Structure 1
Amino acid sequence: MNLYSEHYVSPKTERFVNKIWCLDNSIGESLIENKLVLPNGCFNLAIVSGNAIEVHTSKNKYTMNEGFYFCSQMTNKVLVNIQPKTKVTIIQLHSWTLSFFPKYDLNNFSDAIIKIDDAELPFQNKIEVGLNSDISPLLNTINSYFEDLNVLNTTKTIVEKICELIKLHHEEITVSEIGKTLNSSQRSLQIKFKIATGLTIKNYIQILKFRKSVDQMVHSDLEKLKLTDVALYNKYFDQSHFIKKFKDVTKTTPKMFNSDSYFLSKKR
C-alpha cells in the first residue's frame, strides 16, 4: 500500500485542477502520526472515507470524519494524523479556480477547513466515499465537469490573469507592475484576489517562492547544493533572509528540514 499517491487529470481540466492526491491508510492497523503538509498556493476538496483524519492548522484543530471538506489556502505547515481504516482523497484546485464561482467570498478564510454537504458539490455524478472506492470514476467525474467549465469560460478571470503573470515572471513581479500590465488599480486587484483566494497577492507570491525552494532542496543533493544557491536562485535577498522565511513556515531551518516527515509532491 502506498500511503501517498498522485493522480493526474486531463490537459483541459488542468486549467482548474492541479492533481488528485490520496493519503491511504485503508488497510492499516495503526495510527499514522505527525505527518506534515506544506502550503502550496492551492485549495483542496477533501473526501474522507472510513474513520477519520485529524488536521492541525496554524489556527485550529479539526477532526474530519467521513464526508466532504473544503480546505482553504494554508500559510503554514499543517500536521495530520490518519486513523487506521481511513483514506483521504484530495482534489487540488488552482488558486484561481474559485474565482469562476463569484458567489464565494473567501476574504477572511485561510488556514481553515469546513465540512460541506455533498449536495453543495457542482458535479452531476455522485462521488463515492467508500473506503474501497476506485479513483477512476472520480477522475472521470472531475474531468467531465471541468472540461465543460473550460468550454463555457473562454475568458480568463482577473485572478487567473494575475496568477499567470506571477508565474510568467517567476514570482518576481510587484503588485504595481501587475496593475500596469492589466491596466487596473492595485487596490482593485488586491480586493478581487483576496476575495477569491483568502490571500494577498504578496502572500501568494511568498508561498510560491517558498515551495519552489523546498522542491529544489528535496530534488537536489543538499550536501552539494549550498543554501546560498537556493536563496539566490529563488530571489531571496541572501541566505539569512531565506532561512528566516523558511522558519516562518516550517518552524525549523533548511538544514534541519526532514523531507520524510512531509507529504511532498512527486517530481513530474
Structure 2
Amino acid sequence: MQLYSEHYVTQKTERFVNKIWCLDNSIGESLIENKLVLPNGCFNLAFVTGNSIEVHTSKAKYEMNEGVYFCSQMTNKVLVNIHPKTKVTIVQLHTWALSLFPNYDLSDFTDSIIKINLEELPFKIQIDSNIEIILNTINTNFEALSDLNTEKNTIEKICEIIKNQDSEISVSEISTVLKTSQRLLQIKFKTATGLTIKKYIQILKFRKSVDQMVSSDLEKLKLTDIALYNKYFDQSHFIKKFKDVTKTTPKTFDPDSYFLSHKR
C-alpha cells in the first residue's frame, strides 16, 4: 500500500487547483502517527472516508471523522495521525481560488479546519469515489470555472507577480504594478486568503528553501547558499525563520517525517 500519492489535474484546471493528493491507510491495521505537513501557500479541501484522521495545527487539535473539511492557509507545520481503515483525498487549491467566491471572508481564518456539508460544495461529488472519478469531477468543474472567469482578478494578479519575480518584491512595488493603493491590496488579500501579502511571500520563500534543501546534497550545497539564493539576509536569518515554522534546525530536519511534494 502506498501511503502518500499525488495526482495531477489538466492544464486548464491547474489555474486553480495545484494537484490532488491522497493519504491512504484504508487497508492498514495500525495507526500512522506523527507525520508532518509544511505550509505551502495553498488551501486544502479534504474528503475523509473510513474512520478518522487527527490533525494538530498551531491553534488546535482536530478529530476529522468521515466527511468534507476545508483547511485554511497554514503558517506552521501540521502534525497528522491517520487511524486504521482511513483514507483522505485532498484537493489542493491555489491561494487565489477562493477569491472567485467573494461571499467568503477569510480574514481571520488561518491554521484552522472546518467541517462543511457536502451540499455546500459548488460541484456534486461522492467522497468515497475512486481517484479517477474525483479527478474527472474536479477537472470538469474547474475548467468550466476558468472559462467563466477569463480575466484574472486582483488576488490572482498579486500571486502571479510574486511568483514571477526573481527577487523578493514589496507590497509597494506590487501596488505600483497594479496601480492600486497598498491599503486596498492588503485588505483584499487578507479577506481572500487570511494572510497578509508579506506573510504569503515568506511562506513561499520558506517552502522553496525546504524543497531546495531536500533535493540537494547539503554537504555540497551550503546553508549560506540556500539562504542567499532565497533572499534571506544570511544563514542565521534563514535558520531562525526555519525554526519558527518547523521547531528544528535545517541540519536536523528529517524529510522522512514529512509529506513532501514529489518532483514533477
- Normalised by the length of structure 1, the TM-score is 0.97
In structure 1, what is the equivalent of residue 127 of structure 2? 129
One-letter amino acid of the counterpart of residue 103, structure 1? N
**How far apart are 1:128 and its partner, in Å?**
2.1
> Cα deviation per residue 1:158-180 (whole Å; 9 max; x = unaligned)?
00000000011146100000000
In structure 1, what is the equivalent of residue 70 of structure 2? 70
Residue from 202, 222, 226 that aligns with 2:222? 226
**How far apart are 1:225 and its partner, in Å?**
1.1
> Cα deviation per residue 1:90-134 (whole Å; 9 max; x = unaligned)?
0000000001010000000000000000000001x3x2233xx31
In structure 1, what is the equivalent of residue 196 of structure 2? 200
Runs of 4+ in 1 over 6 A off after TM superposition: none
Structure 1 unmatched ranges of 5 or more: none
Q: How does 1:29-178 map to 2 (within 5 A)?
A: 29-123=29-123, 125=124, 127-130=125-128, 133-170=129-166, 172-178=168-174
Contact 1:171–1:205 (Cα < 8 Å) also in 2: no
One-letter amino acid of the counterpart of residue 5, structure 1? S
In structure 2, what is the equivalent of residue 238 of structure 1? 234
Contact 1:13–1:150 (Cα < 8 Å) also in 2: yes
One-letter amino acid of the counterpart of residue 87, structure 1? K
Secondary structure at the counterpart of residue 263 of structure 1: coil
Q: Quick one: structure 1 residues 171 and 91, their matched pair in 2 at CA, closer, same or farther if it must change by over 3 Å?
A: farther
Contact 1:52–1:63 (Cα < 8 Å) also in 2: yes
Structure 2 unmatched ranges of 5 or more: none
Identity of aligned residues (%): 78
CA distance in 1 between counterparts of 2:99 and 2:126 reads 26
CA distance in 2 between counterparts of 1:128 and 1:100 reads 23
